[in-house]
Amino acid sequence: MPASGRPICAVLLGATVALAVTAAASAQEKVWRHGILNPKSDAGILAMVGTGDFGKRQGLKIELVNFKDDQIGLKALIAGEVDSFEGGPQGVFSAASKGGDARILGCHWTVVPHGIYAKDTLKSVAELKGKQIAISAPNSMPDMLAREALEKSGVNPSEVKLAAVGGDRERYQALIAGVVDAAVVSNEYEPVAPKNVHLLLAGRDALPNFIRICIFSSESKLKARGDDAVKFLAAEMDALKYALSHKQATIDLAHKLTHEKADDPRAAFIFDDAVEHHAVDPSLPLPKDKLQWVEEQLVKAGKIAKSIPVDEVIAPEHREKALELSGHS
């Protein structure tokens, strides 16, 4: 008998029960690491899933991991550093063309909020010939938007200097400082832009088929944690629905994450724009026609060698289950 006076069997039984309780608690709230881009004025919408009880209601602890751009986030997903990541769908096609393990689970920001902003001396996209435009990394949305807009206006992209200049903030600063003549940036800068900078072309007009943000995971991750992926998607659906119906809470979260003052107009501007243009869809659709269009542009630009069927890069069954779980069906 131990010094406490309790029988050994009772001590062992107590320890076993304690371990069982701990294991049960751990099983009830598994960690799901989700990658998103660094917080901007749209962070109230994109990061809402990491707040409140959205994950907890599904038995998940959702941890948000920030990345500078799509390419870094996608590499982290493929390396297994995160369970899912959201960014432009073009990255998945590029990864698939090289044998990369990535699958599209659903897309929520289906309308491009970006545009080409330029000095007020430039009145049309055609006038960008011979000028310098700030974009992001190759195959990124800013890169594709600039190239497509130029070609639609009769300007060969080779006749323009496309400079990879970090994220939206860096591209915007390069424009207002006069380092570049134009830049592809989010419309969040429109309400604070100086008078000598204006919107030359809205992305939604230049690229009506372009999808801004989709959620990805890997085939290996889905095989190992398919049920958790469904729960995460359900939590994301609920979070997006909440964000779009609670304007002030969404704006407040954006200000908190970006450390902007309460009177900064950008979060409210981008919220109103997203609602007005039905840019965000909480049901996380998988529009095959638009995804196919993105793939075709990559082939056309020589970014991938041959066509990749959309069905090879999507995993629709997880979304379908999530719709039932979240009550969206």
Please give the average per-residue pLDDT across 249-264, as a whole number.
96
Q: What is the pLDDT of residue 28?
A: 59
Domain membership of residue 146 as a residue range: 114-206
Look at residues 176, 203, 206, 207 and name the one whose alpha carbon lies nearest to residue 189: 176
Look at residues 271, 147, 297 and name the one whose alpha carbon lies nearest to residue 211: 297
Same domain, 99 and 138: no
Q: Is 103 helix (H, G, I), strand (E, B) or coil?
A: strand
Look up the pTM and report it: 0.84
Q: Please state, rounded to an integer, the average pLDDT across all residues of the chain.
A: 89
State how many domains the chain has: 2
Q: Which structure tokens are listed for 119? A: 């000095």
7 within some domain = no
Residue 12 has pLDDT above 50, yes or no: no
13 within some domain = no
Same domain, 199 and 317: no
Indicate the helix (H) or strand (E) that contains 133. Answer: strand 132-135
Sequence-distant (6+) residues with CB within 8 A of 273 are: 113, 187, 279
CB 88 within 8 Å of CB 70: yes
Same domain, 95 and 136: no
Please give the average per-residue pLDDT across 17-43, as a whole number.
71
Q: Is 322 helix (H, G, I), strand (E, B) or coil?
A: helix
Distances from the Cα of 224 to the Cα of 83, 86, 227, 228, 258, angstroms = 11, 20, 9, 9, 34
CATH of the domain at 79: 3.40.190.10
Same domain, 145 and 202: yes
Same domain, 172 and 314: no
2 within some domain = no
Same domain, 62 and 79: yes
Kindly write down the DSSP assignment for every residue of 13-80, as one continuous string: HHHHHHHHHHHHHHHHSEEEEEEEEPP-TTHHHHTGGGSTTTTGGGTEEEEEEEESSHHHHHHHHHTT
**Poorest-confidence range of 17-31, 231-245, 303-317?**
17-31
Same domain, 233 and 295: yes
Sequence-distant (6+) residues with CB within 8 A of 44 are: 243, 249, 250, 251, 252, 253, 254, 255, 257, 267, 271
pLDDT-based confidence at residue 20 (cuts at 50, 70, 90): very low
Is 299 or 11 the better-scoring residue by pLDDT?
Answer: 299
Q: Which structure tokens are listed for 120? A: 């007020």
Q: Which structure tokens are listed for 174? A: 């390069």
Q: What is the pLDDT of residue 328?
A: 62
